[in-house]
C-alpha cells in the first residue's frame, strides 16, 4: 500500500513526526540536552493547567502518571500512525472522514495505557511521600553539561529518606553559570522549576 495515497496522508505525516521526535528525544536523553524540557513547563498539569478545566481533565486522563510531555507526544504520534496504517491496510483505502475519528478515539484510549506503563518504568522527578517544597535550602548536583539563566538543567537531590529525586533547576542570577557536577543550593521554587543562586 502506498503511504503517499491521500487516504494515508495523516498517518504518514504522523509517523514522520514520530520518527523525528523520537530521534531528538532519545538523543537529548543520551547527551543531556533537554531539548523538549520547555514542553513540561507549558503543559504541566500541576502548575499551569487547572485540573477543573476541560483541558486539564483531558491531560489528566491521557497522562495520569504525569510522564514528560515529550513522551506523551511521541506515544501519540506512534499509536495514531500505527493504528491508521493498520486499519487502512486491513480494510483498504477508506475515506479519511471515516477512519480519522475512529483512529483518534482509539489512540486517546491507548495513550492513557501507554503513559501508565511509561510512568511505571521511568524515574519520577517527585514522589507523593515527600513534598518538593521540602527541598528548598537543600543541596543538589547538576546533571546536565550547562545551566544558565533561560537554560534550565536537570539536577539530582536526595530526600531525608535517602531517595533520589530528579528536578529541573535554573540559576537566579543572570550571570551565573553552573556545569555538570556542580553542587548548588535550592533557593526558590517557581512552578516545577527550582531557582538556585550559589555553588557550594
**pLDDT tens across 19-48, in order?**
998 888 777 767 656 666 656 555 554 444
Confidence class for position 5, pLDDT limits 50, 70, 90: confident
93-141 per-position pLDDT tens digit: 889 999 999 999 999 999 999 988 888 876 554 444 567 788 888 899 9
pTM of this structure: 0.55
Domains parsed from the chain with CATH numbers: 6-121 (no CATH), 132-199 (2.40.50.140)
Task: Give the pLDDT mean for 156-161.
Answer: 80
User: What's the pLDDT at 169?
Assistant: 92
Mean pLDDT taken over the chain: 80
What DSSP assignment string belongs to 50-82?
-TTSHHHHHHHHH-TT---HHHHHHHHHHHHHH
Q: How much is the average pLDDT of 9-25?
A: 91
Amino acid at each position: 500500500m502506498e503511504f503517499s495515497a491521500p487516504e494515508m496522508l495523516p498517518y504518514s505525516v504522523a509517523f514522520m513526526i514520530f520518527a523525528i521526535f523520537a530521534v531528538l528525544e532519545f538523543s537529548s536523553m543520551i547527551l543531556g540536552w533537554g531539548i523538549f524540557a520547555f514542553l513540561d513547563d507549558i503543559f504541566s498539569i500541576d502548575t499551569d493547567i487547572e485540573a477543573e478545566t476541560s483541558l486539564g481533565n483531558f491531560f489528566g486522563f491521557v497522562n495520569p502518571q504525569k510522564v514528560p510531555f515529550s513522551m506523551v507526544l511521541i506515544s501519540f504520534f506512534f499509536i495514531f500512525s500505527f493504528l491508521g496504517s493498520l486499519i487502512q491496510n486491513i480494510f483498504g483505502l477508506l475515506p479519511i472522514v471515516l477512519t480519522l475519528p475512529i483512529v483518534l478515539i482509539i489512540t486517546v484510549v491507548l495513550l492513557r495505557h501507554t503513559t501508565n506503563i511509561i510512568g511505571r518504568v521511568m524515574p519520577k522527578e517527585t514522589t507523593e511521600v515527600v513534598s518538593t517544597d521540602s527541598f528548598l535550602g537543600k543541596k543538589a548536583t547538576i546533571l546536565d553539561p550547562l545551566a544558565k539563566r533561560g537554560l534550565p538543567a536537570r539536577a539530582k537531590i536526595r530526600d531525608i529518606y535517602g531517595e533520589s529525586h530528579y528536578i529541573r533547576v535554573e540559576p537566579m542570577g543572570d550571570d551565573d553559570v553552573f556545569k555538570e557536577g556542580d553542587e548548588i543550593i535550592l533557593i526558590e521554587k517557581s512552578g516545577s522549576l527550582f531557582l538556585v543562586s550559589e555553588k557550594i
